[in-house]
Amino acid sequence: MNPILNADLHCHSIVSDGTLTPEALAERAHGNGVELWSLTDHDEIGGQHRAAAAAKACGMRYLTGTEISVTFIDQTVHIVGLGFDPDDQALADGLRQTRGGRGQRAMEMSDGLAKVGIKGAYEGALKFVGNPELISRTHFARFLVESGVCRETNEVFRKYLTEGKPGFVPHRWASLKDAVTWITQAGGMAVIAHPARYKFTANQEFALFTEFKAHGGQGVEVVTGSHTVAEYSIYADTAREFGLAASRGSDFHSPDESHTELGTLPFLPANLTPIWDVLASRIQ
Ligand code: AMP
Ligand code: MN
Ligand code: MN
Ligand code: MN
């Protein structure tokens, strides 16, 4: 295959913090011209068999996917896994362990919000949760929009859910090494998600890429809904510098929120190895 492929290898369903079912996402992706798709729910692979079957039903190629939350130098980094065996036990166990702290964290977030006068946020957020093991900041954001505290989810994150704000609770996620290892030992490839979103210094970012490679990581998202056009070029250079394959994905969550639509991003820049070339044997 080649870089000119409408691959969308990053999006979320109701199994994590998206609002559509795996089936509705598959149809939407296919309708938008996606040729190769992956559903990458946060810390979850519970939607993988449904997504693969739905992709097959509309004649779209599929790679298994997930997006693992990792703590690296006190920041949350997301590692996308692609093309793994969806029935791998060690991967399932690792993800279950990663999801484990979310319930307690959510109650603490709710306590923080109560202190600034927002009552019942835990129960309110729960109404938006599709998977009881995966309550996320996104569900709180939807509740705060529904209850009129903010106009849209971006505003909720800015005012309430990011570091230093009343609903923010620091959390320790998986280690970089564990996340990369779970994915690769299950036959998949690990990809650094939306690198421009992190607030690392140049040295810290270098450490992230260097350690990721050392643990067996093989790809980086270059074209993502989280990057500007200038950032496509920056991370295309980073991919070449570190010898990483390049990925492309919208990070679509919901038709009602200001996220990039499935299958609508520019193609990968030239002179990169597309991750789908390296994963050719894992495509269903
Ligand atoms: P969590 O895993 O509970 O920390 O939630 C992280 C999720 O929150 C991300 O995957 C995004 O879907 C969402 N998110 C993070 N920052 C923002 C933002 N500024 N605006 C909207 N959604 C965001
Ligand atoms: Mn999300
Ligand atoms: Mn992410
Ligand atoms: Mn995502």
Ligand 1 atom, smallest distance to 251 CA: 12
Ligand 1 binding pocket (C-beta < 6 A) is 17, 42, 69, 136-138, 153-154, 157, 253
Give, as residue ranges, everything with CB less than 5 Å from ion ligand 4: 67, 251
Give the DSSP per-residue string, 200-213.
Answer: --HHHHHHHHHHHH
Q: Say yes or no to pLDDT of 273 above 70.
A: yes
Helices within 130-272 (DSSP H only): 137-146, 153-156, 176-185, 202-214, 229-242
Tens digits of residue pLDDT in 204-247? 999 999 999 999 999 999 999 999 999 999 999 999 999 999 99
Enumerate domains of the chain plus CATH numbers. 7-98+172-282 (3.20.20.140), 102-161 (1.10.150.650)
Ligand 1 atom, smallest distance to 102 CA: 3
Q: Say yes or no to pLDDT of 53 above 70.
A: yes
Are the beta carbons of 20 and 130 closer than 8 angstroms?
A: no
Nearest CA to 2 out of 261, 284, 190, 270 is that of 270
**Residue found under tokens 């929009």:** 145
Tens digits of residue pLDDT in 235-258? 999 999 999 999 999 999 999 986
Average pLDDT of the chain is: 97
How much is the average pLDDT of 141-146? 98
- With cut-offs at 50, 70 and 90, classify the pLDDT of residue 50: very high
Tens digits of residue pLDDT in 56-73? 999 999 999 999 999 999
By alpha-carbon position, which residue is closest to atom 4 of ligand 1?
A: 137
Separation of CA 212 and ligand 4 centre (Å): 18
Separation of CA 67 and ligand 3 centre (Å): 7
pTM: 0.98
- With cut-offs at 50, 70 and 90, classify the pLDDT of residue 196: very high
By alpha-carbon position, which residue is closest to atom 18 of ligand 1?
A: 154
Tens digits of residue pLDDT in 88-114? 999 999 999 999 999 999 999 999 999
Pairing of strands 65-72, 75-82: antiparallel
- With cut-offs at 50, 70 and 90, classify the pLDDT of residue 162: very high
Q: Name the residue of 43, 102, 136 whose CB sits within 8 Å of the most ligand 1 atoms, as the mutation to test its pocket.
A: 136
Are the beta carbons of 10 and 65 closer than 8 angstroms?
A: yes
How much is the average pLDDT of 155-162? 98
Per-residue confidence (pLDDT) for residue 1, from 0 to 100: 59
Q: Say yes or no to pLDDT of 116 above 70.
A: yes
Instruction: For residue 69, give the ligand nearest its CA.
Output: 1
- With cut-offs at 50, 70 and 90, classify the pLDDT of residue 46: very high
Helices within 83-160 (DSSP H only): 89-99, 102-114, 121-126, 137-146, 153-156
Helices within 215-272 (DSSP H only): 229-242
Instruction: For residue 106, give the ligand nearest its CA.
Output: 1
